[in-house]
Amino acid sequence: MFEYGDGELEPITPTHRQFKGDIEKGLEMKKLVLSGFLASEEIYINQLEALLLPMRPLKATATTSQPVLTIQQIETIFYKIQDIFEIHKEFYDALLPSIQQWDEKVTVGHLFQKLASQLGVYKAFVDNYKVALETAEKCSQANSQFQKISENLKVKGPKDSKECTTTISMEALLYKPIDRVTRSTLVLHDLLKHTPKDHPDFPLLQDALRISQNFLSSINEEIDPRRTAVTTPKGEARQLVKDGFLVEVSESSRKLRHVFLFTDLLLCAKMKKTAVGRHQQYECKWYIPLADLTFQTLDDSDSCPSIQVLPEHEIEEMKIKISVLKSEIQKEKKAPKGQSRVERLRKKMNEQESWLLLHSPTIPFRIHNKHGKSYLFLLSSDYERSEWRESIQKLQKKDLQACVLSSVELQVLTSSCFKLRTVHNIPVTSNKDDEETPGLYGFLHVIVHSAKGFKESANLYCTLEVDSYGYFVSKAKTRVFRDTAEPQWNEEFEIELEGSQYLRILCYEKCYDKSMLNKDDNEIVDKIMGKGQVQVRGRASQKQTMHKERCLRPSGEIFQHVTHFN
């Protein structure tokens, strides 16, 4: 998100009380601000140049028999970068001599005015930004040559710097223009602060600031809301990649946490209790830089305390209570003046579903930092656990630097979590509005036929998960098909649905290593070979059948037959 100060500008001291020495000091500060901005402008131009460097050879190969990217893909990814580069190169070349020949009469406001008047190019860039990122990501996945290029762009260092080049990703460079507009606006605030009101520059800088702020206001909501102005040690924007509610085992008790995965760190937070009418806030419990984060091995987990699991009958009893409450709520909705009772029943159901959410998960997800501190989360879905692991590992492939946040930086980052979060409510059905798409009830008849596309023979089996009471649980498992790359299970399952909307399938390679078979029953030691998800749809009093060929990530296809009986 863009951030900027308010539009009210107040002089530090009234003009009639300013002495000549104060004015000279202020103008000297103005020169320092401009010099710093000019240096950052040089870095920005070098970054844009690094982004443009692969564009020319990519265009040259686009018309050959073996193109790396198509012309359309190139134009989408690099849209308006050349124009932005030329605008800032012209601005830099005009500003440099003004600073080199500095005196109190020098004016630079007209240069900032012209820069602000060209913000329409940035509007076009912003409108295309999300598509550019998605296109670059898809092209990287489809073409290893482009992936190598996009992850290793070389940025020249400043002329007077000993640093020759730095390596940076295309994704990080594509964010630079968005970040630059915000920084330019902040610099205008500083320049006005150190410019006397009667100086010829003052009205010009004010006008440039007005144009910039109007521009930021117009596009503020169009920027990816997961972006934040907080930066990483390498100066890149720290972006929220993933967030969600997880159960943490802390001091032998289960705690519901909101976990935020940023580009360079994992942050675990809890919602603070606030007075009615006050904004909700998060409290950071801990964070780990991704450069210091490792996943616990099975050998390491021997020293971990055993996971306390409630008897299955207690979980089932709670599910029955929730089902009864749901029926009562539906009955009261039809009754005259039943609204107040509906609210009481909803509150009770929320408490029971929250209890279930806290006590049902049993699949351990262990992480620790390089200093030996370990953290344990419990999940109800191995699919979800693998999603978290894969997201972290993907980020760890980048050139990460360990970061240590000051108390102020940590407070700013934690405060930003509230507006950046993508998951707003704990996953319980009582949180959903009546008009939201209701899940399915009844039975899902699933036939898992076969799979293909695996590169090597293995001992393969599948599990099926559905969402139930707001979270996913494993419902069925095929037999192990031994030593094959094309298993033929042809197994049928009847799965009870309890407000379900999605069916997930995971394909595993069975582990027969004896040293790993004595682990806790909830510790899944088998390797996920691929996974996929399909939405289950249906209407009242309707039988629905689907024939599905699901693409499993990272490789393979699975054939299944799904029928829903309401």
Q: Which residues pair with 505 in a beta bridge?
A: 464, 532
Find all residues with CB under 8 Å of 82, minimum gap 6, and list them: 52, 55
Q: Enter the DSSP assignment of 300.
A: G
Q: What is residue 419's predicted lDDT score, i.e. its pLDDT?
A: 79
Q: CB of 558 within 8 A of CB of 454?
A: no
Compute CA distances 97 → 106, 184, 250, whole Å.
Answer: 10, 19, 61
Amino acid at the residue 228: T
| The token pair that represents 412 in the structure block | 């700013």
Q: Which CATH number fits domain 15-224: 1.10.357.10, 1.20.900.10, 1.10.10.10, 1.10.3720.10?
A: 1.20.900.10
Chain CA centroid to CA 54, Å: 27
d(CA 525, CA 296): 12
The helix or strand, by DSSP H or E, that contains position 45, with its residue range, turns out to be helix 20-52
Q: Which CATH architecture has domain 237-307+362-426?
A: Roll (2.30)
- Is residue 479 within 8 Å of 461, Cβ to Cβ? yes
What pLDDT was estimated at residue 480?
Answer: 94
User: Any residues with CB less than 8 A from the CB of 394 and at least 6 apart, and which?
Assistant: none
Q: Would you state the pLDDT for residue 332?
A: 82
Chain centre distance of CA 430:
26
Residues 6 or more apart from 24 whose CB is under 8 A from it? Answer: 104
pLDDT, block means (10 residues), the chain with 566 residues: 36 44 75 90 94 92 89 93 96 94 88 92 88 90 90 84 78 85 83 90 91 76 47 67 92 92 94 62 91 73 61 86 86 78 87 89 90 90 92 89 78 81 78 60 89 89 86 90 92 88 90 59 74 72 45 56 56
Distance CA 516, CA 524 (A): 10
- pLDDT reported for residue 284: 92
Q: What is the pLDDT of residue 8?
A: 36
Q: Which two tokens stand for residue 168?
A: 């940076």
**300 Cβ contact partners less than 8 Å away, ≥ 6 residues apart:** 366, 368, 374
Backbone angles phi, psi at 23, to 5 degrees: -65, -45
Domain positions in the chain are 15-224, 237-307+362-426, 312-355, 440-565
Q: In the prediction, which pLDDT does 255 show?
A: 93
CA 206 to CA 213: how far, in whole Å?
Answer: 10
Please give the Cα distance from 288 to 268 (Å, whole number): 9
- With a CB cutoff of 8 Å and minimum separation 6, the contacts of 108 are 34, 95, 98, 191, 201
- Name the class of domain 440-565: mainly beta
pLDDT value, residue 433: 53
What DSSP string runs through 53-70?
Answer: TTHHHHHHHHTSSS-SS-
Residue 2, SS3 per DSSP: coil
pLDDT for residue 10: 37
d(CA 122, CA 215): 9
pLDDT value for 250: 87
